[in-house]
Amino acid sequence: MAHQFRPVDRDAEMLLPHNMLDWVPEGHAVRVVIGTAEQLVTADLAVRLVPPAPKGSAAGPARYDPVMLLTVWMYAYLRGVLSTRAVEDRCRYDATFRVACGRLVPDHTTFSRFRKHLLAQDGLAEELFYRVLHVCAAAGLGRLTVVAGDGVKIAASASKEASRTEAGLRKLAAQVIAGASKAAADEDAGKGVLPGTDLLLGADTVPPRPDPRSRAGRVLACLDELAAEREAAQAAAREQGQAYLEAVAAGTANGRPPAAVALAAAQLRLEEAIAAEQATLAAWQARRAAGQRVARSPAVPGTGKKARKARARLQARQAQAAAGAGPAADAGTGNQAAKAPQRNVTDPDSRLLPVRGGGFIQGYNCQDAAADDRLMLGGYACQDTGDVLQAQELARVAAKGAAVVAAGHAAHAAGPALLARCHDRMCTLPARGKHDPGHDIAACHHAMTSGIGILVEDAGYHSEANLTAPGPDRLIADGKTSDLTCREPASGPPPADATPAQANAHRLRTPEGRAACKRRAPDVEGLHASLKDQGGLRRFSLRGLNNATSEFLFAGLAGNLRLLAALS
């Protein structure tokens, strides 16, 4: 049987509409991005978007419109195109990108310079994020009944093999200095070494510091940060040790002594034991002089059982100190020295972070909060390996984003038709399963304007300080999700005499608490999956903590626009 195929004619002429916007249908994401960018960029904000001209550049043709460049980057992050060369290529051949750039094709250097300027400005990316959030809220997005907070590890623009300890950094500094000195000697024997190398070597004279962007400057920054961290740790150890010594003197000390004062604490305990035995001997002599019947003579002060044990501990501490392993060995477990801190030469602000499933990445721990329709309410990048210390700051960020959402709904009430579409699309997400009949349109509107109902977080944020901190009502898991479902159900309010942890555990066993915890993962982890899979944000493009925060917010801005385009 013969097959019938459609003919392929690549030479056929084709007429495109004169209006570029007719190249894409109504409600397309690029139309949403263009309309949003034109709406949120005011005159004062457009001035801040203009990057400075490169040093030494001569006057040339007219520069590209910063609003157009911003529009292209917003659409690029929405589509997951983060490479500057890929964006340039899309502006040449992709119809939707050609609509975004207005058939202009800036080169990758222009795109790179603009993004670097946009993300490096303090607060500019955050301002753009909240303006887009306000636009999304005005369109009917942002259900605040349950707000979920979590952290996601995103790799930095650096390799973990570039991380070194302080000793390794000094060795690298010596290599950099030697190479620079040799290059300078080959070029001009009368020239000195690289500026700032004397500081790296610890010389007495301090020449001008090297360029922070240079390799020598980054090594120097890592050494300075490690030195400051070591001094802070030593100051904290001295303060803790002094408090322990005061407790020993008062007789209220418990537990192992801090490593910094272990030797002094052992000396104090020996002196206390000898003093106690002297007091016992003096009391025995007084009773004997008074003619009282006494037992046999107590031990000579310093030879009793407690004094012998205290002296043995003191001698052991002295031996450790003589071997140079006392504080380091005592600080660890199993008499192992604590792992030396490291810094990354490529991106000194990044940290070595453990990831789920084992292993480590060189990156940042990004914290964010998501509304019940996966609308990102805010976020930031931090350097902590865990989440427990970020709960209160994350709650503040979530509350700020919720206030923007509430203001957006109060100022621009969504029309009934648009609000109905928002309800149909966002209340029946695939992650939710079947539609909840309780989520009617009125309930959706109330949830979007009444502030955060409850802030839900996983067990990584659990602590008494986080449970009792001011802010929105929160529910923090104290175990794995599978363990929470196996607990005996509860109902009603927690007991009146319950501690904060007990009250939180009781709420986790109620039907309302279980339902809120089940909605955490689809909301915030679904947002993380969207940022990585659809937004392509698996590795930051720029280096530095501030740049990472700005790029994370810009990716979240694009993710919110993706939800807005889904309503069109």
Contact 83, 50 (CB under 8 A): no
3-state DSSP assignment of residue 146: strand
Least Cα distance to 375 among 127, 123, 126, 562 occurs for: 562
Tokens of 30: 């690029």
Q: What angle do CA 563, 567, 568 make, to 5 degrees?
A: 120
Query: What is the average pLDDT across 457-483?
Result: 88
The structure's pTM equals 0.75
The single residue listed with the structure tokens 């721990």 is: 365
Dist. CA 131–CA 126, nearest whole Å = 9
Report pLDDT for 334.
Answer: 38
Element holding 163 (H helix, E strand): strand 163-165
**Beta bridge pairs of residue 473:** none
Please tell me what DSSP assigns to residue 522: I
Contact 185, 568 (CB under 8 A): no
**Beta bridge pairs of residue 198:** none
Angle at which helix 84-93 crosses helix 108-120, to 10 degrees, equals 130
HEC string of 334-387 equals CCCCCCCCEEECCCCCCEEEECCCCCEEEEEEEEEEECCCCCEEEEEEECCCCC
Q: Using 50, 70 and 90 to split pLDDT, how confident is the model at 536?
A: very high
Q: Where are the domains of the chain?
A: 20-120, 124-159+350-567, 161-255, 258-333
3-state DSSP assignment of residue 473: coil
Contact 352, 362 (CB under 8 A): yes
Dist. CA 528–CA 153, nearest whole Å = 10
C-alpha separations of 385 from 175, 310, 365 in Å: 31, 40, 7
Could you count the other beta carbons within 10 Å of the beta carbon of residue 474?
A: 22
Q: Using 50, 70 and 90 to split pLDDT, how confident is the model at 254?
A: low
Per-residue pLDDT tens for 173-222? 677 667 666 666 666 555 454 554 544 555 444 455 666 666 666 777 77
Per-residue pLDDT tens for 351-389? 999 988 888 899 999 999 999 999 999 999 999 998 999
Dist. CA 317–CA 310, nearest whole Å = 11
Q: Cβ neighbours of residue 136 under 8 Å, at least 6 residues apart?
A: 142, 375, 405, 408, 560, 561, 563, 564
Least Cα distance to 540 among 349, 345, 386 occurs for: 349
3-state DSSP assignment of residue 81: coil
Q: What is the mean pLDDT of the chain?
A: 80
Per-residue pLDDT tens for 280-338? 878 877 887 777 777 777 777 778 877 788 788 878 877 877 776 544 444 444 333 34
Dist. CA 183–CA 62, nearest whole Å = 41
Report pLDDT for 204.
Answer: 46
Report pLDDT for 228.
Answer: 72
Per-residue pLDDT tens for 314-330? 788 778 777 765 444 44
Q: Using 50, 70 and 90 to split pLDDT, how confident is the model at 393?
A: very high
